Amino acid sequence: MISYLDFEKPVAALQARIDELRETADDGAIDIDAEIEKLQQRSTTMLAELYGKLSPWQKTQVARHAERPHFRDFVSAMCSDFMPLAGDRAYADDKAIQGGFATISGRKVMLIGHEKGNDTASRVKHNFGMGMPEGYRKAVRLMELASRFGLPVVTLVDTSGAFPGVQAEERGQAEAIARATEACLALNVSMVAAVVGEGGSGGAVALASANRVLMMEHAIYSVISPEGCASILWRTADKAADAAQAMQVTAQQLLTLGVIDRIVPEPLGGAHREPQVAIQALQKAITEELRTLDGLSGTQLRNQRAEKFLALGS
Amino acid sequence: MSWLNRVRNAIPFIAKKADTPDNLWQKCPSCGQMIFQKEWDENLSVCPRCEHHGRIGPKARFSHIFDEGTLKLLPTPVVKEDPLKFRDSKRYTDRLKAARAATTEQDALLNGIGKIEGQQAVVGVQDFAFMGGSMGTAVGAAFVAGVKEAIKRRCPYIVFTAAGGARMQEGILSLMQMPRATVAIQQLRAAGQPYIVVLTDPTTGGVTASYAMLGDIQIAEPNALIAFAGARVIENTIREKLPEGFQRAEYLLEHGMIDMVVHRKELKPMLAKTIGYLSGAKAA
Ligand SMILES: [Zn+2]
Q: How confident is the model at residue B80 (pLDDT cuts 50, 70, 90)?
A: very high
- Residue B59 CA to ligand 1 center (angstroms) comes to 22
In a domain, B150, yes or no: yes
Q: How confident is the model at residue B11 (pLDDT cuts 50, 70, 90)?
A: very low
CA A252, CA B170: separation in Å to the nearest integer? 17
Task: Say whether B226 sits in a helix, a strand or coil.
Answer: strand
pLDDT at residue B281 above 80?
no
- In percent, the amount of chain A with pLDDT more than 90 equals 91
- B45 with B168, same domain: the answer is no
In a domain, B3, yes or no: no
Q: How confident is the model at residue B205 (pLDDT cuts 50, 70, 90)?
A: very high
**Mean pLDDT calculated for residue range A269-284:** 97
Q: How far is CA B209 from CA A18, A199, B27, B212, B215, in A?
A: 51, 16, 32, 7, 12
Which residues does A197 contact at the CB level (< 8 Å), separation at least 6?
A: A63, A64, A68, A70, A116, A157, A158, A216, A219
The predicted complex's ipTM stands at 0.95
CATH of residue B78's domain is: 3.90.226.10
- B126 with B109, same domain: the answer is yes
Which of A169, A227, A245 to mutate against chain B (most B CBs within 10 Å)? Answer: A169
- B230 with B144, same domain: the answer is yes
- Distance from the Cα of A258 to chain B's closest Cα (Å) equals 10
Question: What are the pLDDT digits (tens) for A115-169?
Answer: 999 999 999 999 999 999 999 999 999 999 999 999 999 999 999 999 999 999 9
Question: What are the pLDDT digits (tens) for A216-270?
Answer: 999 999 999 999 999 999 999 899 999 999 999 999 999 999 999 999 999 999 9
pLDDT at residue B21 above 70?
no
- B21 with B148, same domain: the answer is no
**Mean pLDDT calculated for residue range A73-96:** 98
Q: How many domains does chain B have?
A: 2
In a domain, B4, yes or no: no
Average pLDDT, chain A: 95
Average pLDDT, chain B: 91
In a domain, B36, yes or no: yes
What pLDDT shows up at residue A35? 86
- B69 with B192, same domain: the answer is yes
What pLDDT shows up at residue A2? 78
**Mean pLDDT calculated for residue range B121-140:** 98
What pLDDT shows up at residue B283? 52
pLDDT at residue B138 above 80?
yes
What pLDDT shows up at residue B5? 41
The pTM of the whole model exceeds 0.90: yes
Chain B residue whose CA is closest to A222: B172
Question: What are the pLDDT digits (tens) for B228-270?
Answer: 998 888 988 888 788 889 999 999 999 999 999 999 999 999 9
Contact B162/B133 with Cβ under 8 angstroms?
yes
pLDDT at residue B1 above 60?
no
- Residue A135 CA to ligand 1 center (angstroms) comes to 40
- B87 with B31, same domain: the answer is no
pLDDT at residue B184 above 80?
yes
Q: How confident is the model at residue A29 (pLDDT cuts 50, 70, 90)?
A: low
- In percent, the amount of chain B with pLDDT more than 70 equals 90
Cβ-defined contacts of A291-300 (< 8 Å, 24+): A292/A212, A293/A152, A293/A190, A293/A192, A293/A211, A293/A212, A294/A190, A296/A190, A298/A147, A298/A187, A298/A188, A298/A189, A299/A188
Q: How confident is the model at residue A104 (pLDDT cuts 50, 70, 90)?
A: very high
CB–CB contact A178 B209 (8 Å): yes
Q: How confident is the model at residue B120 (pLDDT cuts 50, 70, 90)?
A: very high
- B38 with B86, same domain: the answer is no
Per DSSP, helices labelled H in A214-274 are 226-229, 240-247, 251-256
Which residues does A119 contact at the CB level (< 8 Å), separation at least 6?
A: none
In a domain, B2, yes or no: no
- B31 with B135, same domain: the answer is no
- B95 with B29, same domain: the answer is no
A242 contacts on B by Cβ (under 8 Å): 88
Higher-confidence position of B193 and A36: B193
- B32 with B98, same domain: the answer is no
- Distance from the Cα of A207 to chain B's closest Cα (Å) equals 11
What pLDDT shows up at residue B279? 86
What pLDDT shows up at residue B8? 37
Interface of B with A in 201-230 (CB under 8 A): 205-206, 208-214, 226-230
In a domain, B6, yes or no: no
In a domain, B210, yes or no: yes
- B42 with B62, same domain: the answer is no
In a domain, B79, yes or no: yes
What pLDDT shows up at residue B15? 38
Which residues does B59 contact at the CB level (< 8 Å), separation at least 6?
A: none
What pLDDT shows up at residue B161? 98
Domain range holding B69? 55-283
- B79 with B191, same domain: the answer is yes
Evaluate the omega torsion of the peptide bond into residue B83 and state whether it is cis, within 30 degrees of 0.
no
